[in-house]
Chains A and B, each alone.
Chain A
Amino acid sequence: MRNWFRTVRNQRKKKHNIPSQPKDITLEITDERIETELAHSKQVLQEIFRDCSDVVFREIMVNETTKGLLVFIDGIVNTDQIHENLMRPLLIHFSETFNESQPADLKERQISLAQVTSAKQYAQLVEGILTGSVALLVNGYDKALLFNVVGGTRRGVEEPATEATIRGPREGFTESLRTNTALLRYRLKSPRLKTIAYKIGEHTQTNVALAYIDGLADPRVIAEVRNRLERIKIDGILESSYIEELIEDDPFSIFPQVQNTERPDTVAAHLLEGRFAIFIDNTPFVLVGPVTAWLMLQASEDYYQDIYAGSFIRLLRLFFLGIALFMPALYVAVTTFHQDMIPTTLLLSIAAARESIPFPAIVEALIMEISFEALREAGVRLPKTVGQAVSILGALVIGQAAVQAGIVSAPMVIIVSVTGIASFTVPRYSFGIAIRLLRFPLMLLGATFGLYGIVIGTMCIVLHLAKLRSFGVPYLSGIAPFSWKAQKDLLIRSPWWRMITRPPLLYDRERKRMSTDLKPSPVKQEGETE
C-alpha cells in the first residue's frame, strides 16, 4: 500500500517535471529586415496575413517606374484620412517630386499626416498594421513607412451607466484608450501627469497605460505596479478585470483591492490624492489603486454635493452596509435563538406572521435571499424589455403571493427587501458583491450558532480586512491604523477648505494641496478689530 502511494506520488512528480512543450504563442515573425525588393516583401506580408480577409493590399505607382504598396486593415483605419491625406498626395503630387535617394523625405514633406514612423523589420511593420497604421512600402527601399490613421467606429463619450450622478460631469470613459486618456488630460493639464504605455497580451496586444502624477504618487507604489504589470504574460486582455486579478495583493480575497470606475473625474481626483490609474484599451473601466475599504463607500458626488448631504449620505451608506451584511443573519439568529431580545409586541407580530409558515426561519431566509439574487441576476442579464416583466413577476410572486400562500412570512419579505435596498447603496459594485456574498455564510452561522456565530463570522471578516493590503496600503487605513488626519474625508466629508493635506498613508512628499486660508469670510475693513 505504502509503495503504491509512493509510486503514485513519484508519477505525479514526474508529470510535473516534464517541461511543458514550449508553446510559442508569439507571432512567428522573425526579426528579418525588410527587403528592398517589393515583390518579396509583399510575398512575406501576404504569408503573414494569410487568410486575413480584412487586410487590404493596394499597389500603386509612386512614379513612372517605381512601384509602391499600401497595406492596412480595413475597418480599424480612417478611410477618409487615407483617401485625403495619403492616396491623393501619393498619386497626384508625389510622382512629380519623388526623390529616389531620399525616401524619408516623404515623411517630412509630402504626406499631411501627424504620426509617421518608419519600420525596418517585419515585426515592427506587422505590429503597426495591426494597430491601425497604413504601411507604405516602396520598391528599392529597405524601410517601410507607417502612417497612423487609427479610426473606425467606436462608441462615443456617453454618460457612464454604472456611476450616474445628479450633479457632476456626465462624461464617461469609452472603449478607446486614447479617448480615455484624453478625457483625463482635459482634467489634468499638467506635464506631471504621466501615462506609461504597455502592450499586454500576446494575441490581443492590448494597450495599457499606467497613469499617475509624478511627485504625488508614491514612487515605491509606482515601481511595484510597473513590476506587476511587466510580469504579466498572457494571451489576451479583454477587460480590466484580467489585469485586476493579476495584480491584486491577495488574489483569494473576496474584497476588491483595486477600484474600477467609469468616471474621468473620479480618476482625476484619485490621481490628485496620489493614487495611480490603469487604463486598458477596449474597456471603459479604469482601475484605480491603492484603495481602502472606506473608498468603497465614497462616490464622486459626495464631493459635489454640500458637506452635510455628502457626510449624511456617507454615514447612511455605512449604516446600510451593516444592514446588507447582517440584517438577515441577525433576524434568523434572533428569532431562532434569542427570542427574549425582541420587544414583546414585535415578537407577537412576528409570531403571528410566522404561525402558518412551514419552514424554519433559515430556510425561509435562504429561499427569499436566493430568489432575490436570482431576480436581480435575471434583471441584469435579460434584454431591457424582458427585464421589466421579470421584475413585475418577481415582485408579485416573491412579494405578495408567497406571503399570501403562507410560504414566506411578511417580516422576512421586509427583511429581504431592506437588505436588497441596502446592498444597492454601496457605490462600488465590486464591493457590493462581496457584501452580498458574505451575507450567506453569516446567515448560516447565525442559524446554527445564533449571535455567537455572527460574532465569530464578523471577527473573521474584520481580521481579514485588517490583514488585507492594497499595494502595501492597509485596507482599513484611516481607522486601522488610525489617523486623525484621515478622518476629514473618511466617514464624513469636510469642506474643501479644511482638506488642506492629502490623505495620509499614500505619499507625503507634497502634503499640502491648497493654501490654508481658503475658508470664506467677510473681507476685513481697515482698522477693524476681530
Chain B
Amino acid sequence: MRRLACTILAASLLLAGCWDRKEINDIALVMGTSVDKEGNQYKVTVQIAMPSQLGGAGSQGGGGGTSGTKAWHSLTATAETIRKANEIEQQALSRILYFSHRRTLLIGEDLAREGILDIMDVFSRIPQNRLTANVAITQGKSVDIMESEAPIERFPSEAIREQLNQYMKRNRVLKDLITSILQEGIDPAIPFFKTTSKEPGSAEAKGKENIRVGGLAVFKKEKLVGFLEGDDAQGALWAMDEARIPTVSITAPGSKKKIAVQFHQTESKLKPVIQQDGTILMQIRIKAIGSVVDNESRFTPVNMGTLETLVGKKIEGNVKNSLSILQKKYKADIIGFGRNIYMDDPTYWRQISANWDEMYPKVKTEVQTDIQIEHSGALIAPFQREEGNR
C-alpha cells in the first residue's frame, strides 16, 4: 500500500516535467507587433530580436553590435485573424514565436478607424501576451513605423517604447486602453506616431525616414476619430493631467521675441459644477511649477508675476482650443468629463449617462491656471540687456 502510494506520488511528480521546456536558443523573442487592415484581413508584422546580432561574447557578431547589420528581423503575414497570421509567420521561422516580451503594439490608422475592440481580445486572451505592452496608433500604415530606422536603440520597437514613455506622465499600455474603451464617461486617447522627413545630418540615413510621436490619437469609444497635434495635443495633455515636462513659449512682455518656460511639475484637477439652468460647467484647475529655460527677448524675468500671468493665459488658451476641438469636432470625451461627473455625483450621472453623447459638446468649460515660475535658470538678465533701453 505504501509502495503504491509512493509510486503514484513519484509518477505524478515525475511525469509532469519537461513538456513546456524550451531553451532560450529556441525561442524567437517578439519585440513588437504592428497590425494593419487589408481589406477584410489583418496584416500582422512581428519584429523579432536576433540575439546573434546583439554582440554577446562568443557569438559571431561579437564586439559591440555596431557591425551595421540589424539586430532584428521582421515577418509579415496577412490572414483573417491575428493568430492565424502569427501561425503563417511561425511557419517561416526556425524558432518558436515568444510573445511575453512584446513591449510595443502599433495599430494602423485604417484599422483604428474601424474599431480596435475586436483585436483587443487576442491581446488579452493569451497569457503569454503582456497587458503592459505600450500601444500606439500610426498615421498611415503601421508597418512603415515598425520598420523604420532606430539608430540609437537596438530595435525600432524599443525606440517607439522609449518615445512613448517620454510623451505622457503615465504611458498608455494595453490595459489602460482596454479599460478606457470599456469605461463609461471617458474615451481613449493614445499617442500616435508619424514619420518625419529625412533625418538631418546623417549621410547614411539619407532617404530614410525618422519616426516621432505626432500627438494624441482621439477615439470615440473604440473607433479612431482624429488626431490632435502640436499645441492642440499639449492642451489636451494639460487637461488630462498627462503633460510631462511641457515647455510653453510666449511672446515676452514688451518685446516681439520669445521666452520659453519649462514645467517640471504639473497638476490638473477637474471639478464639474451643475448650474441652475441644468448646464454643466467643468472647472479645470491647472497648477504648474516651472522655470525659464530660454529667453531671447530683453525682458528681465525678475518679477515673475507678469510672466506667470502670460504663461497661464497661453496655457488656458491652448487648453480651451483643444477642448473646443474635442467637444465640437470629434465629440470625444478623452479627458473624462463624464467620468468626473460620475465620481462627483453618481446619482446625477446615472440620470444623464443615457444622453451624455448629446450633452458632452454643450458642457461649458472654465480653465483656471496657477502658474509658479521658480527661477530663471543660471542667468537672471539676458545677455543683450545693456544694448537695449530699459
Contact = CB atoms under 8 A, between A and B. Distances in A.
B31 to A, nearest CB: 8
Nearest to B52: A355
Contacts of B128: 340
Interface residues of B, number: 30
Nearest to A340: B100
Given A339-B24, A352-B51, A406 B58 contact: yes
Contact of A404 (B17, B57, B101): B57
Q: Is the interface of A mostly helix, strand, loop or mixed?
A: helix
Nearest to A448: B17
B16 interface: yes
A356 interface: yes
Interface string A317-358: 000000000000000000111011000100111111111110
A348 B49 contact: yes
Interface string B8-23: 0000011011101111
Name the residue in A344, A405, A456 with the highest tally of chain B Cβ atoms < 10 Å from its Cβ.
A344
A300 interface: no
Nearest to A344: B101
B154 to A, nearest CB: 8
Contacts of B21: 336-337, 447-448, 450
Interface in B268-303: none
A361 B54 CA distance: 20
A410 interface: yes
A354 B56 contact: yes
Name the residue in B13, B23, B24, B52 with the highest tally of chain A Cβ atoms < 10 Å from its Cβ.
B24
B55 interface: yes
B25 interface: yes
Given A339-B98, A352-B56, A354-B56, A347 B17 contact: no
Contact of A351 (B13, B20, B22, B29): B29
Name the residue in B23, B103, B128 with the highest tally of chain A Cβ atoms < 10 Å from its Cβ.
B23
8 contacts: A347-B101, A350-B24, A352-B56, A355-B59, A356-B60, A405-B58, A452-B16, A453-B17
Interface of B: 13-14, 16-18, 20-25, 27, 29, 31, 49, 51-52, 54-60, 98, 100-101, 103, 128, 154
A68 B376 CA distance: 112
B105 to A, nearest CB: 14
Q: Is the interface of B mostly helix, strand, loop or mixed?
A: loop
Contact of B20 (A335, A337, A410): A337
B16 A347 contact: no
A409 interface: yes
Contact of B13 (A348, A354, A356, A456): A456
Contacts of B154: 348
A456 B103 CA distance: 33
A404 B58 contact: yes
Given A344-B101, A450-B21, 18 more contacts: A336-B23, A339-B100, A344-B103, A348-B29, A348-B51, A349-B54, A349-B56, A351-B49, A351-B54, A352-B54, A354-B24, A355-B56, A404-B57, A406-B58, A409-B56, A409-B58, A449-B17, A450-B20
B291 to A, nearest CB: 33
A55 interface: no
A410 B101 contact: no
